[in-house]
Amino acid sequence: MNKHSIKEIIFFIFLTLIYYSGFSQKINQQDSTVIKQVFNASLNEGQSYQWLDYLSNNIGSRLSGSLGAELAVDYTKEQMQELGLDKVWLQPVMVPKWTRGAKEYSYIETSPGVTSIANICALGGSVPTPYGGLKTKVVEVKSFDELKELGREKIEGNIVFYNRPMQDNLIQTMHAYGGAVGQRYSGASEATKFGAAGVVVRSMSLSQDDFPHTGAMSYGDTPEHLKIPACAISTNGANYLSATLKLQPNLLFYFNQNCKSHPDVQSYNVIGEITGSEYPNKYIVVGGHLDSWDLGDGSHDDGAGCVQSLEVLRLLKMIGYQPKHTIRAVMFMNEENGLRGGNKYATEAKKKGEQHVFALESDAGGFTPRGFSFDTSDSNFDQIKSWETLFEPYLANRFVKGGSGADIGPLKNQGIIKVLAGLSPDSQRYFDYHHAANDTFDKVNKRELEMGAAAMTGIIYLMDKYGTDFTN
Amino acid sequence: MNKHSIKEIIFFIFLTLIYYSGFSQKINQQDSTVIKQVFNASLNEGQSYQWLDYLSNNIGSRLSGSLGAELAVDYTKEQMQELGLDKVWLQPVMVPKWTRGAKEYSYIETSPGVTSIANICALGGSVPTPYGGLKTKVVEVKSFDELKELGREKIEGNIVFYNRPMQDNLIQTMHAYGGAVGQRYSGASEATKFGAAGVVVRSMSLSQDDFPHTGAMSYGDTPEHLKIPACAISTNGANYLSATLKLQPNLLFYFNQNCKSHPDVQSYNVIGEITGSEYPNKYIVVGGHLDSWDLGDGSHDDGAGCVQSLEVLRLLKMIGYQPKHTIRAVMFMNEENGLRGGNKYATEAKKKGEQHVFALESDAGGFTPRGFSFDTSDSNFDQIKSWETLFEPYLANRFVKGGSGADIGPLKNQGIIKVLAGLSPDSQRYFDYHHAANDTFDKVNKRELEMGAAAMTGIIYLMDKYGTDFTN
């Protein structure tokens, strides 16, 4: 070995360092300057909070097929037009319509005439209770396995009470949700197999309070005449019911709900775009879902994601950035109970052969952004991860591989996109409000919302600049 | 060069990697397991939130010298005793006593009889207005430089209105506070130099709302008879006053406040400790301040830090960890308007020759922990930074060099400690509540508080295990 070899070794070490620094030679001071401009603009002269104020306080809840949903379509379309986007249009989509009807009512009867109120709400998509309500005995279970073990003998004619809590010690609350939400989604169809008369599900919340949390449920392939009513009970109510059951196993649970499924109705995705200067036929999508559940005003889920997506386009224009790709903001309709908007968007994109470079969704609440979750190949992710350093000054530099968003998922499933991402806000408070009457505007902090919008804009900018590199 | 040299090169690279991995060979799987246990215990069976509930809702505000402060001393002492600590005691300290008196009243008069209410509160330590209140013209300034430029001619006999806002685009809100709080602290003493009759200061808040925020102010060496009354006005009020002044420069501002300074009174730091098994005479301190301002119930500032510090000792006991050093929780008295408790603790520690290995303070709100700020030498910090990886699963792994906490600062100033730290929670919402009537229990999220307590316990555990290494 000679001196030449030492040079080679040093060169090899140099290459290794370059490699492990994740291609970071690509991003530069200009990128850092642009992202700083974006954050300054969002925090000093942002519009997202004002838009959310209107959406939440002037329009309110926006369940698919409701008046609120249609008002929100009109409003966001108008706001896009006011932004002076190059193109704004409505993409028609038929959506399911389910209405809650008169407010639910429920009580626990420990002996004739001795009752206490329980806070419940019908699960989205549930059938109503029989005329006059349903009153019967309750069987508490923590899992579908437990349900099977009890079998028809113990279940038939009774109400099944699913009471497995979300796990407190999971740091990412989305994981705690994932570990419990099966009870809500499939609880009724599973209980039906053993002849249950109805189901009551512990609310998907990490907070101990009196708010029942609704959300989508499915009867699977249960025949119409076998469908049983399903409701959520507040966490305080669930604890009370469980404790009371231990003392009085024969207590009766009464509930009355008046919800109803209607034929599909016409609705829309709202789309606005800035035409790309170099690749007008290649698309970058940023979006949230415009529909919400009907109990609160859907500020965190997902008014926040919608106004942040609008703000991305506004901020790009505000700093005078002319994108190379066409950048679309999409207000998806019907994420909560059908995903019709997301599916429609992807189907149309495929039909038209629209090449999609990147899609980003914000649907985890308007809280302090911690980073992004990317759904892409390892090699693409390695390169994207080298951008983390640009987000360090904003404490939004946690880039991980993982899921993206429900509404943009169909773009991946239909094979027309290689890079998707979801904004990852702080998750600790999300399930305190999710799908409940307290998901309201006052729970959103202006700065947290604006920082999320700015972080999203930063990623869209970088994807516009470097996204064409992601070919696998 | 021969093969031997290649080995040397490889060995050198190896050493370099070890060096840049920041001594991480020291922490091990056991540490990871302990920290996991701590988080599980805090989130599944925590006590901090219940303690804070009592402190906030049963005791309430705790300004030095108030009944609330004394009740809080008794309560936290009792709770320490119930934890079965090895030693619990009160450390006497004389504290200033300032009372607000009857609620402040203020209005803006644009012409005789045409008035609108302004939301104000006296600044802590201010003198009252003259009997019947003060009504005079207003001069708005954004800085002390501007004040000097205007000079006595424009200022004399008028109210100076300091209206420089906290900067929205600073990501760490503490920096925005630092850039504006001089107006509150020194505004009166500066204005006095030019013969002002009083001062009104824009509230130190990043939220646009109706809450005035109090906080400490100082007259410096202003003679008693020249002291002028000082109040804070809500951000909405400040914007209104500023806009109205542009239209009507001769408007009059009236305010009436009835605050008063009294002679010092007896109070206490509350201290509890677990005796160290190996180094009973070496101390690790974890604390917060028990006093608060009088407007809210001081949940974030700093009830949170107090209950988290108690929780550190409880969690260590709960997981069966026997510390090597003596670990003390200290509820410092009088951080807000005197720092007498912090000074007393350090003075006593010095007098007794108590060797202090580490001190940690939580005084930035009970929000999601993002990491810690360490005040120590570069070489100590390099080693501590290698622990970041242990906090990554809890997203609390942002370790930076910086300040620690006001109450533990005197330990450093008196030269009896080499390593100090402060918990760094998410800072976006802190100044919405800081020193205002809306710093209340409902603004604290249980999980966020508990995660902070767990992160603190993790650092205390690591310092107990490895802290003796930090000798410079």
In A218-291, which ranges are continuous DSSP H helix?
235-247
Mean pLDDT of A395-408: 98
The structure's pTM equals 0.94
**By three-state DSSP, how is residue A215 classified?**
coil
ipTM: 0.93
> Which pLDDT does position B25 carry in this prediction?
45
CB contact under 8 A, A447 and B428: yes
Active site residues of A: 335
pLDDT score of A24: 41
Rounded CA-CA distance B164/B363 in Å is 25
pLDDT of residue A467: 87
Torsion sign across C-alpha atoms A427, A429, A435, A441: negative
Q: For chain A, give me the number of helices (H) and strands (E)?
A: 15, 16
Query: B84 — phi, psi (to 5°)?
Result: 70, 40
In degrees and rounded to multiples of 5, residue A252 shows phi and psi of -110, 145
Enumerate the residues of chain B whose CB falls inside 8 A of the CB of residue A171. 39, 393-395, 451
Strand partners, B207: none
Number of residues that make up chain A: 472
* pLDDT tens digits along A273-292: 999 999 999 999 999 999 99
Residues of A in contact with B392 (CB under 8 A): none
Question: What distance in Å separates the CA atoms of residue B455 and residue B425, rounded to the nearest whole number?
Answer: 10
pLDDT at position B26 = 80
Q: Which residues make beta-bridge pairs with B279?
A: B325
Distance in angstroms (rounded) separating the CA atoms of residues B410 and B420: 11
Q: Could you tell me what percentage of chain B is helix, strand and coil, using 3-state DSSP and rounding each to the nearest 5?
A: 40, 25, 35
Lookup result for tokens 């970071």? A24
Q: What is the pLDDT of residues B123-139, one digit of tens each?
A: 999 999 999 999 999 99
Q: What is the mean pLDDT of residues A391-406?
A: 98
Mutating which of B177, B236, B368 best tests the A interface, going by the most A Cβ atoms within 10 A?
B368
Q: Which of B395, B428, B429 sits opposite A171 (nearest CB)?
A: B395
The pLDDT tens digits of the residues spanning B66-108 come to 999 999 999 999 999 999 999 999 999 999 999 999 999 999 9
Residues from B in contact with A at Cβ < 8 Å: 1-3, 5-6, 9, 13, 39-40, 43-44, 168-169, 171, 173, 206-207, 368, 370, 393-395, 398, 426, 428-429, 432, 445-448, 451
Instruction: Give yes or no for a contact between B29 and A24, defined as CB atoms under 8 angstroms apart.
Output: no
- Chain B partners of A1 at a C-beta cutoff of 8 Å? 1-3, 5-6
Which residue is listed with tokens 């620094």?
Answer: A21
Cα separation, A437 vs A440, in Å, equals 7
pLDDT band at A470 (very low <50, low <70, confident <90, very high): confident
Q: For A59-77, what is the mean pLDDT?
A: 98
Closest CA of chain B from A439, distance in Å: 15
pLDDT of residue A23: 45
Which residues of chain A have a CB within 8 Å of the CB of B445? 428-429, 432
Taking only the tens place, the pLDDT of each residue in A35-57 is 999 999 999 999 999 999 999 99
Averaged pLDDT for residues A217-240? 98
Which stretches in chain B have pLDDT values below 50?
1, 18-25
**Positive or negative: CA dihedral A271, A275, A278, A280:** positive
Q: What is the pLDDT of residue A468?
A: 78
- For B239, half-sphere exposure in the C-beta direction (CA atoms, 13 angstrom radius) is 10
Continuous segment of H or E residues that includes residue B293: none
Q: Tokens representing B229?
A: 């009354």
Q: What Cα–Cα distance (Å) separates residue B73 from each residue in A152, B271, B331?
A: 58, 10, 8
Residues of chain B with Cβ-Cβ distance to A43 below 8 Å are 168-169
A52: phi then psi, degrees, rounded to nearest 5: -65, -35
User: Which tens digit of pLDDT belongs to each residue from A256-266?
Assistant: 999 999 999 99
Q: Are A288 and A361 in contact (CB under 8 A)?
A: yes
Per-residue pLDDT tens digits for B14-70: 555 544 444 444 889 999 999 999 999 999 999 999 999 999 999 999 999 999 999
User: A171–B39: do the CB atoms touch at under 8 Å?
Assistant: yes
Please, which pLDDT band fits residue A416 given cuts at 50, 70 and 90? very high
Q: What ranges in A46-114 are assigned the alpha helix state H?
A: 48-53, 67-82
Answer yes or no: do A429 and B451 touch at CB < 8 A.
Answer: no
The answer to whether the Cβ–Cβ distance between A168 and B447 falls below 8 Å is yes
Structure tokens at A68: 């609120």
Whether the Cβ atoms of residue A197 and residue A228 lie closer than 8 Å to each other:
yes
Given a contact cutoff of 8 angstroms between Cβ atoms, the answer to whether B9 and B17 are in contact is no
pLDDT, tens only, A150-162:
999 999 999 999 9
Q: Domains for chain A: give ranges and CATH numbers.
A: 22-97+263-469 (3.40.630.10), 101-258 (3.50.30.30)
Query: What letters, b where the CB count within 10 A reaches 16 and e where it falls short, cover A151-168?
Result: eeeebeebbbbbbbbbbb
- CA-CA distance, B116 to B119, in Å (whole number)? 10
Q: Which of B6, B394, B429 lies at the smallest CB-CB distance from A171?
A: B394
State chain A's mean pLDDT as an integer: 95
**Dihedral of the alpha carbons of A9, A15, A20, A26, in degrees to the nearest 10:** 160
- The catalytic residues of B are 335
Strand partners, B439: none
Length of chain B, in residues: 472
Cβ neighbourhood burial of B333 (10 Å; 0-12, 13-18, 19+): buried
